[in-house]
Amino acid sequence: MKIAVNTRLLIKGKLEGIGWFSYETLKRITQNHPEHQFYFIFDRPYHPDFVFGENIIPLTAYPPAKHPYLWYFFFEWGVPYQLRKIKPDLFFSPDGWVPLTKKVKMVNVIHDLNFEHHPEFIAPTPLKYYQKYFHQFAQYPERIVTVSEFSKNDISELYGVDKERIDVVYNGSNMLYRPLTDIEKEQTKGKYSFGYPYFLFVGLVHKRKNLQRILEAFDRFKEQDQEQYKMVVVGELKYMDEETRESIENMKFKDDVIFLGRKPIDELIMITGSATAMVYTSLFEGFGIPIVEAFQAGTPLITSNVTSMPEIAGDAALIVDPYQVQEIANTMIKITKEPELVKELIEKGKKRATLFSWDLTAERVWRSIEKVLYS
């Protein structure tokens, strides 16, 4: 069978959440199924690291999909042009976008609909594109894959998609995350937090990630801190809004906040495994991969009671209202005062982590593809 794939997010050195999903699933699917021919459709010159085997033919469609106007031309002109040449049995898209054509069977992965619930977090031009086309991206494919029961219900309710057409496939996470030795933890704290214990935030510094309230909670936590805790922030700063900047400037304990920017995976493993706890109280997530990474690292987790996060965390995290700053602060205090609770969270997290792996993700995505391929 010939399977065409949208691989526009496979960009060397720039893999983000959905890009990692694309990488981890496609690498396994193509290597596990050498009997099929895969056509990877990139939107720019591709890196050979993304050609995972001899059963992959890399192609480039134009123009590069760098902003909404080019998104449209890439998916409505560039991709269809390649599909006419390939004549595939199926088109698979791991990032939610599909060409609006019924000339080929499709499986589409829609990770979440955060823009429908929080349009204020999206720039006006991309928002118009999402609101105009994503409803259609959900109607055209034979099957939709999504990453949580929350997102499945959301897609069904907002877009009127029959739940029988939607398959839930949980994300995995990098299996290199692990509990660290005491020596490794001390060395890591010496390198990144001046030797002091720290809470950790990981993610894009974007309003949806709720960093402003997390830092306000940390400021309140510091009022009773006797051990000089730090707050370590790992993530791109380019999306930081002015309100968050002003909030940081107004912090009483702003000198105890350490911004590390984006870090490679080898450093992130050490930073995550050495944290007193991860504070992942986002306002909206379709899944939330850092939740699983914290579990694998043996790091206690504080997360939100909204969207998919309680579903993914189960009973292995402390769940809070992300809009309640004092509740987040109180939970940070609890982490530092109750060692038995911390041990319990670590053990539960270790068990919870076994439910999520990229091998399972790839296997379940492939089942969805097969449902359409052989229908």
Domain identity same for 217 and 343: yes
Query: Other CB atoms closer than 10 Å to residue 30's CB: what's the count?
Result: 22
What span, in angstroms and rounded, lies between the C-alpha atoms of 345 and 302? Answer: 10
Any idea what the CATH number is for the domain that residue 19 is in?
Answer: 3.40.50.2000
What is the rounded CA–CA span in Å between residue 160 and residue 254?
46
8 assigned to some structural domain = yes
Question: Do 308 and 246 share a structural domain?
Answer: yes
Is residue 337 assigned to a domain? yes
Domain of residue 117 covers 2-172+358-373
Residues 6 and 43 in one domain: yes
Say if 46 falls within a structural domain. yes
Give which of 336, 271, 351 is closest to 302, Cα–Cα: 336
Whether residue 323 is contained in a domain is answered as yes
229 and 87: one domain? no
- Are residue 160 and residue 200 in the same domain, yes or no? no
Distance (Å, rounded) from C-alpha 267 to C-alpha 360? 26
Q: Looking at the domain assignment, is residue 270 inside a domain?
A: yes
- Does residue 324 sit in the same domain as residue 213? yes
335 and 251 in a common domain: yes
What order do you get walking across the sheet with 56-60 strand by strand?
A: 56-60, 37-42, 2-6, 90-93, 106-109, 143-146, 166-168
Count the domains in the chain: 2
Q: Which residues contact 253 (CB under 8 A, 6 or more apart)?
A: 218, 219, 222
Q: Domain check: are 362 and 349 in the same one?
A: no
> Is 167 a member of any domain?
yes
Contact 356, 323 (CB under 8 A): no
Which element (helix H / strand E) includes 25?
A: helix 17-32
Residues 163, 156: Cα–Cα separation, whole Å: 6
143 within some domain: yes
Rounded CA gap, 219 and 247, in Å? 11
Query: 113 and 72 in one domain?
Result: yes
Q: What is the pLDDT along the chain (375 residues), one digit of tens a residue?
A: 999 999 999 999 888 889 999 999 999 999 999 999 999 999 999 999 999 999 999 999 999 998 888 999 999 999 999 999 999 999 999 999 999 987 899 999 999 999 999 999 998 999 999 999 999 999 999 999 999 999 999 999 999 999 999 999 999 988 899 999 999 999 999 999 999 999 999 998 888 999 999 999 999 999 998 899 999 999 988 778 888 888 889 999 999 999 999 899 999 999 999 999 999 999 999 999 999 999 999 999 999 999 999 999 999 999 999 999 999 999 999 999 999 999 999 999 999 999 999 999 999 999 999 999 998
101 with 189, same domain?
no
pTM of the model as a whole: 0.93
Are residues 213 and 161 part of one domain?
no
Are residues 161 and 215 part of one domain?
no
CB 114 within 8 A of CB 288: no
Task: Please indicate, yes or no, if residue 177 is contained in any of the structural domains.
Answer: no
